[in-house]
Amino acid sequence: MIKLSFSLILFCLFPFGNAQSDSPFVMVPYGGPAGQWTDIEYCPPGTKAKGFSVKMKEKEGIPGDSALNGLRLYCTSENKADGEYIVTSTEGQSGTWSNTFRCMNGFLSSFCLRVSPPKRIDDDMLANIKFRCRDSLELEGSGSQRGFYGPWSGKCSDYICGIQTKVTKQGDVVIDFRFYCCDK
C-alpha cells in the first residue's frame, strides 16, 4: 500500500508524456504570502513568450493608485510562421488591459515585481512588473509607480513558456506569479 501511494504521488508530481510539466520555474520571494496557486498555462508547443501585457485595477477612491490584476504572455515561434498566441493564467475580476510590450530580439527569460507595502496584513498589492529578454533588454509594464522593485528572479536557461498566478483566498486579486521555463 505504501509503495502504491508513493508511486501515485510521484506520478502526480511528475506526469509522463508532457515535458513541460517537468519544467523548472522562476519566481521571486516577495509576492503575496497568503493565497492559492492556480493552474499553469503554457504557450503552445514550439512557441515561447516574446511579450506581455498587464491588467491594471484602479483602487477605489484613490486616483492614480492601481494594482496589477492579471498578465498575458504573447507566444510565438522563432520564425513567427505560426502567428501569435495569447496565454493567461487566472486573473482578477476587474481591470483594464495595457498595450503589449515585446522583446525586439529574443524572448522573455526573467522578471521582477514592484510591490506596494501593505497597510494591513491582507493588503498585498502588486504594482507593476518588469521582464528581461534573453538579449538583456528590460521591458516594464504600465502599472503603478508606487512601492519598490525587488530583486530579479533567476534566469531561464532558454526562455519563459508558461505562467501561474497566485490569487487571494477570495480569488479576486492577483498577488504573485511563477513563470515556467522551457528548453529549445
- Percentage with pLDDT > 90 across the chain: 51
Domain that holds residue 102: 24-182
Give the span between the Cα atoms of 28 and 31, in whole angstroms. Answer: 7
Q: What sign does the dihedral 66-174-42-153 (CA atoms) show?
A: positive
Q: Looking at the domain assignment, is residue 6 inside a domain?
A: no
Q: Is residue 11 part of a domain?
A: no
Q: Is 122 part of a structural domain of the chain?
A: yes
Cα separation, 18 vs 98, whole angstroms:
32
Q: How far apart are CA 118 and CA 179, in angstroms?
A: 24
Query: Is residue 183 within 8 Å of residue 138, measured between CB atoms?
Result: no
Q: Which three cell numbers stand for residue 118?
A: 501593505
pLDDT band, very low/low/confident/very high, at 58 (cuts 50, 70, 90): confident
**pTM given for the model:** 0.81
* Structural domain total, the chain: 1
Tell me if 10 is assigned to some domain. Answer: no
Report which listed range, 78-87, 96-105, 170-179, is most confident. 96-105
Q: Does some domain include residue 156?
A: yes
Q: What is the pLDDT of residue 6?
A: 30
Spatial distance between the Cα atoms of 92 and 101, rounded to a whole number of angstroms: 20
CATH code: domain of residue 35: 2.100.10.20
Q: Of 21-30, 43-52, 86-95, where does the model show the most confidence?
A: 43-52
pLDDT-based confidence at 10, cuts 50/70/90? very low
* Residues in CB range of 180: below 8 A, 6 or more apart: 20, 23, 24, 25, 40, 42, 160, 161, 162, 163, 164
Burial of 100 (0-12, 13-18, 19+ CB in 10 A): middle
More reliable by pLDDT, 171 or 162: 162
123, part of any domain: yes
- Residues 79-108, mean pLDDT to the nearest whole number: 89
Q: Assess if residue 134 is contained within a domain.
A: yes
| CA geometry: angle 103, 72, 165, nearest 5 deg | 120
Query: Which residue has better confidence, 109 or 19?
Result: 109
Which pLDDT does position 83 carry in this prediction?
A: 85
